[in-house]
Amino acid sequence: PRNAARGSDGVVRLAGVPVSELAAEFGTPLFVVDEDDFRSRCRDMARAFGDPARVHYASKAFLCSAVARWVAEEGLSLDVCSAGELATALHAGFPAERIAVHGNNKSVPELDAAVRAGVGHVVLDSMIEIERLDRIAGAVGVVQDVLVRVTVGVEAHTHEFIATAHEDQKFGFSIAGGDAMAAITRVFATDNLRLVGLHSHIGSQIFDVAGFELAAHRVIGLLRAVVADFGVPKTSQMAIVDLGGGLGISYVPDDDPPPLNELAAKLAVIVAAESAAVGLPTPELAVEPGRAIAGPGTVTLYEVGTVKDVQLGANARRRYISVDGGMSDNIRTALYQADYECRLVSRISTAPDVVARIVGKHCESGDVVVRDQWMPDDVGPGDLIAVAATGAYCYSMSSRYNMLPRPAVVAVRDGVARALLRRETMADLLGLEVEE
C-alpha cells in the first residue's frame, strides 16, 4: 500500500501502525486495510471518469459495512450481486438509488428485495429475468430502471484479449447472435421496466486497453442499431454505457497496468464520437472497478510456523516456509496461479536471501500463498510475513477449509488501527451445528 514504510528505526508500519503491534493486538493471519489508500483510489477513479456516481465499486472484491460507508462517503455507487451484498450495503446505510444489482441468476426474493429497497438499476441477464423483474416491479407498483447486459465478443485475460469463443458463457445477451436486440425489444414492451442503458463486462485483471476500446465500439454499435430500429426519442433514455470492471493491478513488479486517466479518456472519446454520429446525446460512461480500488491497499500478515528444506534431485533444494493461514484466506494462488510478493516485516535480517515457497497450513500440496520469493535464509518460527495486494478476492473468497476460523480484518489510518471484522472463533464454527 501507499502508506507502508520501514522507518529509520527499522520498524515496518502500515499507515503509521507497527506491524508487530497489529499482530500482537489482533492475531494472525490478519488482513490490514489501508483506509486512505482505498479512499484515494475511489477518488482517482471518480476523477478519471468524471462523475463519482458513475463509478460503481464492485463489492464482490471485498465488502463489509465500513467499506460500504467509505464508498458512500466518497460519492461512488455500488455494484452488488447477491442478497447478502445488498443487505450489507443497506445495513451500512448505503443510498439505495446508488446501488446496481448484478447476477445471472438473481432469485425472486433477491429481485423483490432490490426493487423494494429502491435500487438505482438492475442489470438484466436473461429473458426469464426480464419477465420475472417486470412482474415484481408491477406487484410493488414501481417502474424499475434496468440495463441490459450484453456480450461484445471480446474475452479479456490478463495480458491479452481474444475475440473468439467469447459467446459461449453464461453471462449476458450476445450482440452478434441477435439476442441483445431481442432482449432490448422485449424490455421496451414491458410495462414496469425502463431501459436506461447497456452493460458489458469483458473480464478481470486486464492490462490491455484495446479490449475495453473494442467493447466500447461494439456497445455503441448496438446503440446505433437500437436507434435505427426504435428511433432517437425511444432510445434517448438509454443514457448509461457501463463497461464493467476488470482494470488490472500490480501484484508483482512485472505487472504493468495501463494508466487510469488514459483509459478513461480513450473510452470517453469513443462513446462521445460514436453517439454524436447518430444524433444521440452522449451517454454517461460508467464502470465497475473492484480489484483496482480494493486490491492494492491491503496486506495479509502471517506468522511463520515451520521451515523445511526439501531435496530436489542431486543438488537442488526447495525451502518451504509455512504460515498460519493459506488457501482458506487466499485461494487465488491455487485457483488462478496468481502471483504475489511478500516480505519479512517483523525484523531486519542481514542473512543472505534464498528462494522460498510460502505455503499455508492446509492439508493439500496445492496450498501455496507465494510460489517463489527471495527470503532471508534465517526466517523462522515467530517471524511475521506480509503478503501485498490482498485486498480483492481474498477475504471475499475465503473459506473455513480444514475448519480454520476466518481471519480478522482491520483498517489502519493515521497511526490508528480498528477492527472491521472480528476473527471467527471455534464457537462460530460450532454455531452451525444442529444439536440432537
Interface residues with ligand LLP (CB under 6 A) are 58, 60-61, 79, 102, 201, 204-205, 244-247, 288-292, 332, 336, 392-393, 397
Residue type, 177: G
178 is in an annotated binding site: no
Does the CA dihedral 91-96-102-107 come out positive or negative? positive
Q: What is the dihedral of CA 86, 92, 93, 95, to 10 degrees?
A: -50
Residue closer to ligand LLP by CB (options 30, 392) is 392
* Coil vs helix vs strand at 262: helix
Residue 338 CA to residue 371 CA, distance in Å, equals: 9
Backbone dihedral angles phi then psi of residue 257, each to the nearest 5 degrees: -70, 150
SS3 142: coil
**Residue 213 in marked binding region:** no
> Residue 245 or residue 376: which is nearer to ligand LLP going by CB?
245
End-to-end CA distance of the chain: 48
Residue 302 annotated as part of some ligand binding site:
no
Choice between 246 and 326, CB closer to ligand LLP: 246
Catalytic residue (choose from 64, 81, 342, 363): 363
Cis geometry, peptide bond prior to residue 29 (ω within 30 degrees of 0): yes
Instruction: For residue 340, say whether it is annotated as part of any ligand binding site.
Output: no
- 98 has binding-site annotation: no
User: Dihedrals φ, ψ of 425, to 5°?
Assistant: -120, 170
CA distances from 390 to 75, 145, 341 (A): 24, 35, 10
Residue 363 a catalytic site member: yes
Tally: H helices and E strands in the chain: 13, 23
- Report in angstroms how near the CB of residue 290 gets to ligand LLP at its nearest: 3
194 marked among binding-site residues: no
CB of 335 to ligand LLP, least distance (A): 7
Minimum distance of ligand LLP from residue 38's CB (angstroms)? 13
3-state helix, strand, coil in the chain (%, to 5): 35, 25, 40
Nearer to ligand LLP, 94 or 393 (CB): 393
Shortest distance (Å) from residue 80 CB to ligand LLP = 11
Give the side-chain half-sphere CA count within 13 A for 39: 14
Q: How far, in Å, CA of 164 to CA of 161, rounded?
A: 9
Q: What's the min distance (Å) between Cβ of 71 and ligand LLP? A: 13
Q: Is 332 annotated as a binding residue?
A: yes
Q: For residues 336 and 374, which CB has a smaller minimum distance to ligand LLP in the complex?
A: 336
Q: Could you tell me the smallest distance in angstroms from the CB atom of residue 330 to ligand LLP?
A: 9
The residue among 375, 393, 374 whose CA lies nearest residue 384 is 375
Q: Please, which residue, 13 or 166, has the CB nearer to ligand LLP?
A: 166
Task: Give the closest residue to 358 by CA, choosing from 349, 344, 348, 350.
Answer: 344
In the annotated binding site for pyridoxal 5'-phosphate, the residues are 246, 288-291, 393
Provide the annotated binding site.
Answer: 246, 288-291, 332, 336, 364, 393
Please identify every residue annotated as catalytic: 363
